[in-house]
Structure 1
Amino acid sequence: MKTLVLHIGMAKTGTSTIQNSLGQASAVLRERGILCAPWKPFNHSFDFTVLFLEEPRKSFFYKQQSPITDEEWSKQLQRLRQQWIDLFSSMAQGTCIISAENLTRLSLTEIQSLQAFVAPYFTKVQAIAYVRDPLKSLKSQWEQDVKELQEPMDAQALLQRTKRRMGYRFLQRWSDCLGAENLLVRKFEPAAFHNGSLVDDFFFALGVEGFGEAAIEEVESNQSLGADGTAFLLALNQRYPQYQDGAFNPQRGLARRLHLFYQAMRAAGDQPLKLQIKFDEEEARRFNRRIDFLNQFLGEESGFAAVEASEEETLLPEPCAIGTDYYVELVNELAHLVESFAERSDELAAENRRLNALLEESEGDPPEA
């Protein structure tokens, strides 16, 4: 029997930890009958989900390739399809795991397109989603929206948009397509993880046998930028948005390598982002309807509590409140990045000179008798 497990998020529920742990242990897992794509990025949001989008040119993968001709774009999509087909065809039996939190964004039609793509290779398809406390999830989603902001927007307006967009209707779409028995919804509660490990909890929830004997190291991945980092990124995005005309903004430094910039930002400060999110009466009613919907998948005993309305406004981190220490550390971390790449450039230049010298020597040698 061949089973496909789709880990569909949600975002900010340890997805990066699961993805990196499984990806780096792909060789060990394969020995146990568990197939995970061995290539990077281990987050399959980039190279898997795009294959089923009705408008793939709006994907992050397309933005990464831009500017690109229609012919070359078509070749890229075909390359990705074949890459996954080759992986699926390489297993005779067992479980294949794909992890992509943006699968939650697929429409019903797009999910059906995914099902048609994988149907020839698997006898069973199931999905697993971790869900956080809605209030904590809203905070994390706002921080994620700050990172993905594509147009200038102030912090409060962005929070209002996050409140409107955040929801759990994707669970119904996946349940309708796969069947309720093939959708597993699990609360993201670190204190309750099986063996105290998110990765162990992931396999325990799936009921995958033979994993306990495989020594898989859990690779923790913290993508939070903290209070200062989030406030700084808001100001940066106001002046230099990540994207312009559907492609990376050429005026934005490291626009194509944001992971390096975020690496420096996380190293620059460790002040956590703490938000006491407030709701007016209408917002509270809408949010509580979403909580009620989510609780249908968890059961009454393990459901989440409703939120209360407030006349106060949420206090959000402001760029003007960032201390000098953060900027000093950020500049220093970026300087370290520049230095590491400069050293690598020097090494490559020295190696190039060495190879050129060898080539000149070989060209000057007299022919053998």
Structure 2
Amino acid sequence: MSTCPEPAAHRPHTSTDVDVLSDVIASLRSGRPFANQEDRAGTWHTPFAPFAGAGFHIVLKGSCELLMPDDRSLTLDIGDVILTPHGTQHVLRDQGRTDTTFGAPTSLLCGAYRLDRTRSHPLLSALPDVIHLRSQIGHHPALRSAVFLLGDELANPQQGSSAALSTLLDLLLVYILRAWLQDEADRGAPGWSAALADPAVGAALSAMHESPARAWTVEELGKRANLSRAAFARRFTALVGEPPLTYLTWWRLSVAARLLKESGASLESVAQNIGYGSRYAFAHAFKREHGISPGRYRLTHTGSQHPTRWHPESGVTERPHADGTSNDSFSNV
């Protein structure tokens, strides 16, 4: 019996063939994440202004309260993780007097990810204003491990800590989103969590992300899941929120935008990489989607960018001073 692997074209496709979530994150990320440890005691109140990215907080010690603009409040305990995917304004403050303590010390890991919101992926757009993942023994162990490692690196900085923190912060975002999607799928919530968990739709999304240049048809995508064209189209549209080929076009032109910003590839090469037969057809589709020609988009979105810092209380970004220092409270790691 032959031990050669089955040709890719005949392997059964699953939602794990291509990592859709990683593609989504890669299409959104801009610049490096930044974070640092914030220690509070007594009575305290820290506002966080709206931010063009995603902010996060992890309670390393103690507890606190999170307040949202609509007066929602959440009690955060040790090990809890908060993500504000849309950079929504919010406040962290002490819980005040309890039966046992007043203004007990609280230690937080706070930070943010810069995101390119010019073409926000529908998965991100569908996320709530705040994601609250409670600390539970045995629940999302990878996320808990990342939290522990981050806390340890900040508490005990050593040679290589800057590189370690940057990598761990990248992992943290993946683990937070993965944990939320898993929780949503477990409770049967509709939307992207269900789409990625669905064998038919997840496989189709993976196929489109794996080979965006391929001339996919709805019938071909449906056959991979043993569904008729109509049944597959209904299922995909119900879970993703738009028809299969509409999403494919959106994803192709999102990939094109990233290639224009991050590579020196010619327009002909970019067009071929996303399935357009000529640069003219590509340019027409790109301008229809982005409102600007590919060449002008490249000129507008590339070039030297100085790193910026975020003032949590004002939302103001600034270039560091010539010596690399800044007076903000978060460190760009």
Q: What's the TM-score bracket when you normalise by the shorter of the two chains?
A: under 0.3
Structure exhibiting the larger radius of gyration computed from Cα positions: 1
Normalization by structure 2: what TM-score? 0.23
Structure number with higher helix proportion: 1
Determine which structure has the larger strand proportion and give its number: 2
